[in-house]
Chains A and B, each alone.
Chain A
Amino acid sequence: MKRRGMSVIAAVAVVASAFASTAGAGSTTAAKTQAVSCKGTLKIGFTAPFTGGAGFLGNEQLSWAKYAVKTLAPKYGLKIRLITGDTPVEQGPAIAQTIAQKFIADKTVVAVLGPSTSGNVAASSDAFFAAGLAHISPSATRTSLTKGATRAATPAFFRVVPGDYIQGPSDANFMIKKGAKNVVLFDFQEPYSEGLSDAAQIVLKAKGVTTTRLSVANTVTDFSSFVTKVPSSADFVFFPTQKPGDAQNIAQQLLEQGKKAKVFGGDGSNDASQFKVPGSFVSNFAPDISGFAYNKAVIAGWKKDNPGEALGSFGPPAYLSVQVALNAIKKACDVGKGSIKDRRDVVRNVKKIVVKNSILGGDFRFSTKSNDPLNAKFYIFEIQSNGSYKLVG
């Protein structure tokens, strides 16, 4: 009886998996073969954290992406609708997979912006690749997404910002330039901060800087005892968190315990409304775009649409991502003579895109060796006594 029961369960499982695989293949095939007219409304999916500890990042990106779609799509003769999927960092990568399936199932989605975080790129890139969807991230910086023997992202993934292979060494070199002799590096037991701390630590050690590595579970809310372990002689605490509130918290706790070390946050803590202890540093993949004269009209237009909002560093790369996506969609439409026959046509064209006078400064193009931007760099900001961020490196 028991054996018969097991046989029935096994048979059901085999049938179910056969159905599941057929359904999956069907949807992928549909994605490949159903042509979409470029005269109708095409969709671009945007997956980013709009709520949660990193919600500030996604909302800033969304405001720029909306502005880019509104102002640029008509120039390419395209009707584009932006659809969004929220991926709070606190919910882990599972939610990114669910949203990826939603975008894939909609045949009018011809490109995706994001995922904005590296973990979510790693979680959903395979699905996007199988469905032939280009996904262009404005902020995922993990090195292993595009480099190394075991790449976490697929050839359908592109990013318009440089990876941590540039950020980690840039941050380390800046600390050395500032005279650092002793640096404490934190990681939060997740790939973003571990990778970034690793990259910075290699450079610091090579230049003879004393380093101490502390590892913190990302559920920890009180850093007091970790701060206690920071030597009084430490010059910097390298703190690559994705939650700017945590960077503020550790900076306060260093002051509370009379430690002189300055906090150096990565791009994930670049938020002037949350991280504002004077003398601290953050790095970011985008400079202050107001420094480029040709951006004047774009900035004015965005400010008109977003009154009262401050110019941040996460938004402009989203604008550039939309620009790249629209260019590639337009080229795919031209190849298909007014329709996109296969979403892969968009993927094929992304790599060829060149943006003259890009919003991030200079001409933008992808590297021939990887799907990373060519000649990109990281910028370093110091927090001023009024809480503003000043470009210092």
Chain B
Amino acid sequence: MDTFIQLTLNGLTLGSVYALIALGYSLVYGILKLLNFAHGDVFMVGTFIGFGAIQLLGGTVNPIVPVWALLVLITLAAMAGCACLGVVIERFAYRPLRDAPRIAPLISALGVSFFIAYSMQLLFGAEPKNYDTFSLNGGALYTDGFDIGNVRVPMIRIITIVSAFVMMFFLWLLVTRTRVGKAMRATSHDREAAAMMGIDIDKVIVFAFVLGSALAGAAGVLFALRIPTFATIGFLIGLKGFTAAVIGGIGSIPGAMAGGLVLGFAESYAQGYISTRWSDLLVFVLLILFLVFRPQGIFGKADIRKV
């Protein structure tokens, strides 16, 4: 039972990060019908901004601000930096191709992905960047927390999971309860009709990129709190975020959240109960199974075309 609880906790931690990444894929796909393959690299940039912000705040051994402020500030810095990066990517890599055949922005997305990853490697080196959160308060983030049975739920996991769910809740409020959210839903439903109703489509698209990229930045920091990051980490993590979006139903916000969690649990249970050797393989087999048997994902609707 303890193993099950621990694996569930592992899956929840990983899944909540995947969910934040998947939301970025879904927001952009929902509005532009574009698979933004550079999204994983925006996540990576978020991890690097967080690392840089920690150094600016004095490092983890002797930070110049309290621990809670350090965590909030590095997350906000990553969200702001990634939001700006999202705007730049949309403006220069996707907007000029908005009316081009759908393959063109897809190729552009791959190009942007490699450009960002290798530019970061050139600028900051290929060495892994470790936030060294273990040094914050003498390792208290790892040793403090509460227990479920014999399983420790450490503070660092609580911070990751709670922060991710709070952000997802606010995103849900924004999309369902605000005017801009309504504009996003209208644009997603029918872009031309929304334009005729007076919605500024360009602004809505830019807003979707801002929102998705900011979430990727936050996901980057939450991920890198526990795990060292490096310039090419975005590809695989981004691919998993994309898988989560497909499993949940790409374009669906609740779907992205559910898909992220499903993927996190699947990866964790596969490693725990099936094989540590084949866990990535099993995750991508899950993607293939969904694409073959339920391409619309858990929450998506089948695309019915009238002839």
> Are B226 and A252 in contact, CB atoms less than 8 angstroms apart?
yes
Q: Are B227 and A255 in contact (CB under 8 A)?
A: no
Q: Which of A51, A217, A228, A274 contacts B3 (CB 8 A)?
A: A228
Q: In the complex, identify which listed stretch (B183-191, B269-277, B288-296) lies at the interface while the others stay far away.
A: B269-277
Cα-based distance from A52 to B7 in the complex (angstroms): 31
Q: Are B232 and A90 in contact (CB under 8 A)?
A: yes
Q: For the complex, what is the distance from the CA of A224 to the CA of B161, rounded to whole Å?
A: 15
Whether a CB of chain B sits under 8 angstroms from the CB of A132 is no
CA distance A243 to B228 in the complex (A): 11
How many angstroms between the C-alpha atoms of A243 and B229 in the bound complex?
A: 12
User: With a CB–CB cut-off of 8 A, which chain A residues contact B99?
Assistant: none
Establish whether residues A52 and B126, one from each chain, have CB atoms under 8 Å apart when the complex forms. yes
Chain A: CB-nearest residue to B281 = A217
Contact present for B130 and A229 (CB under 8 Å)? no
What's the least CB distance linking B232 to chain A, in Å? 7
- Given A225-B267, A257-B152, answer yes or no on A215-B277 (Cβ-Cβ < 8 Å): yes
Within 8 Å CB of B277, what residues of A? 189, 215-217
Min CB–CB distance A255 → chain B (angstroms): 5
Contact (Cβ within 8 A) A226 B271: yes
CB-CB under 8 A from B108, the residues of chain A are none
CB distance from A101 to the nearest CB of B (A): 22
Report Cα–Cα, A222/B240, bound state, in Å.
13
Is B226 within 8 A of A226, CB to CB? no
Q: Whole-angstrom distance from the CB of A311 to the nearest CB of chain B? A: 20
Q: How far is the CB of A257 from chain B (nearest CB, A)?
A: 6
CB < 8 Å: which of B13, B152, B227, B280 contacts A219?
A: B280
Inter-chain CA distance A228–B1, complex, in Å, is 12
A53-B128, A215-B276 known; A221+B152 contact, CB < 8 A: no
Q: If A221-B233, A225-B10, A226-B271 touch, does A55 touch B126 (CB 8 Å cutoff)?
A: yes
- Known A-B contacts A215-B276, A225-B276; A51 and B125 likewise in contact (beta carbons under 8 Å): yes
Inter-chain contact B276/A226, CB cutoff 8 Å: yes
Given contacts A56-B127, A256-B157, 4 further A-B contacts (CB under 8 A): A55-B126, A90-B232, A225-B10, A256-B226
List 26 interface pairs A-B (beta carbons < 8 Å), by A numbering. A51-B125, A52-B126, A52-B127, A53-B127, A90-B230, A189-B277, A216-B276, A217-B277, A217-B279, A221-B227, A222-B227, A225-B272, A228-B3, A243-B128, A245-B128, A248-B130, A249-B130, A249-B226, A252-B134, A252-B142, A252-B226, A256-B226, A257-B6, A258-B150, A258-B152, A274-B128
- The chain A residues found within 8 Å of chain B, CB to CB, are 51-53, 55-56, 88, 90, 189, 214-217, 219-222, 224-226, 228-229, 243, 245-246, 248-249, 252-253, 255-258, 274, 277
